[in-house]
Amino acid sequence: MRVEAESLSELRQRTSEKWRTFPPDVLPLFVAEMDYPLAEPIADALIAAVKRSDTGYIGPGDELQRAFCSFAGRHWGWSVQPGQVTTTTDVSVVIVEALRLVIRPGDGVVINPPVYPPFFDLVPEAGGRIVEVPLVDGGDRGPRLDLDGIERAFAAGARAFLLCNPHNPVGLVHSETDLRAVADLAERYDVAVVSDEIHAPLTHSDATFTPFLAVSESARRHGIAAHSASKAWNLAGLKCALMVTAHDMMAARVATLPKEVEVRTSLFGRIASTAAFENGEEWLAGMLASVESNRARLRRLLGERLPGVVCREPHASYLAWLDFRALGWGDDPSAHALDAAKVALVAGTDFGTPGRGFARLNFACSPEVLTEAIERLASVTGSNARPGYRR
């Protein structure tokens, strides 16, 4: 059964970024928040906590770690030990703290633009220096990692690789073959890999997610993974994420982190995340069914109403990477979309130089809102007809 998005009147009662940034005449399809209601098992767990006044600091317990490990085994065939999973506030903190463990100030850290915008800030926050190795066009395969470019960066002295797996914003689910190749390069050049896997539970039915730490002994020896329930179950405001290792060497490094990194985890975040991984799978399946239905709707709407806009079909998340360059909307088409059509998208330039002429659209909304957004965009452009949606 699909999870249905709430109505605009209900959504506009929310106080999160998505619903407070723009005035009511704007359709907000920008930040990665979903328009679906909270999963009942999560809501029930939080309400129960409030009723027992359980609003203090987190205490001892590994319920979340065990729930995540069980989920990872069921969904990805990945055997994770609870003792190698620690919590903190969010994935950004996992990334910064993990990088601090594996680099020295000024060391190069590889990223793959177009990529999640905070990567550009998190690397210098950790003391690193950004080394860009953009994704390459793999033809019918779509965008993919530039393994040759990554090797050149490692050979030139980069000490870490901040991997986005699955990749935001293009919805790329990296193949096991490519991930194994990354692990082999990490072994050859003694490079650490921090794999941001927050979108993993959002992998679509036509793709297979592979955890980086599961691909080889080299990956386990050189890798740290970041996971969270926040993106898949819409829990970003509850502040909880997981730092995962799979090798004694990396676990020993993580054990040196200040205790405060862990105890700053939100108690509500831990309660909600445990409920998500233990009892949220039915809701997750229903939400993904709605997301995949909207993915097909977006393909059809672009072909019919915006044939000049190119988009390769994503295979994870609820985010579409739209190429507006044929329409002549400039380096930042999101500005024209907002000013002329009252549709809020994320500027492609936020994701790095390869994002010029692109914008990111969030389609985790109702079919009606998605249709209205595309109709608005179509109404403010000429029709430069050419097929726009690639599978």
Q: What pLDDT is stored for residue 1 in this prediction? A: 80
pTM: 0.95
What is the distance between the alpha carbons of residues 46 and 27, in angstroms, rounded to a whole number?
29
Place of tokens 């794999």: 195
Dihedral sign from CA coordinates of 155, 156, 161, 163? negative
DSSP state, residue 351? G
The single-letter code of the amino acid at 249 is: M
Q: Do domains 8-37+281-390 and 42-279 have the same CATH topology?
A: no
Q: What pLDDT is stored for residue 381 in this prediction? A: 87
DSSP state, residue 27? E
Q: What pLDDT is stored for residue 141 in this prediction? A: 75
Reading phi first (left if > 0) and then psi (alpha if -120 to 50, else beta), residue 328 is in: left
The closest alpha carbon to 108, from 133, 134, 143, belongs to: 133
Residue 215's CB is within 10 A of a number of other CB atoms, namely 22
CB-CB contact of 99 with 263 (8 Å): no
What is the distance between the alpha carbons of residues 172 and 163, in angstroms, rounded to a whole number?
12
Q: What pLDDT is stored for residue 382 in this prediction? A: 58
Q: What is the CATH number of domain 42-279?
A: 3.40.640.10
Express each pLDDT in 343-387 by its tens digit.
999 999 999 999 999 999 999 999 999 999 999 999 998 533 333
The single-letter code of the amino acid at 20 is: R
The closest alpha carbon to 3, from 29, 37, 32, 33, belongs to: 37
Q: What pLDDT is stored for residue 388 in this prediction? A: 40
Residue extents of the structural domains in the chain: 8-37+281-390, 42-279
What is the distance between the alpha carbons of residues 171 and 12, in angstroms, rounded to a whole number?
28
Q: What pLDDT is stored for residue 387 in this prediction? A: 36
**Residue 272 vs residues 69, 243, 277: alpha-carbon distances, Å:** 16, 17, 9
CATH T-level topology, domain 8-37+281-390: Aspartate Aminotransferase, domain 1 (3.90.1150)
Regions of the chain short of the pLDDT cut 50? 383-391
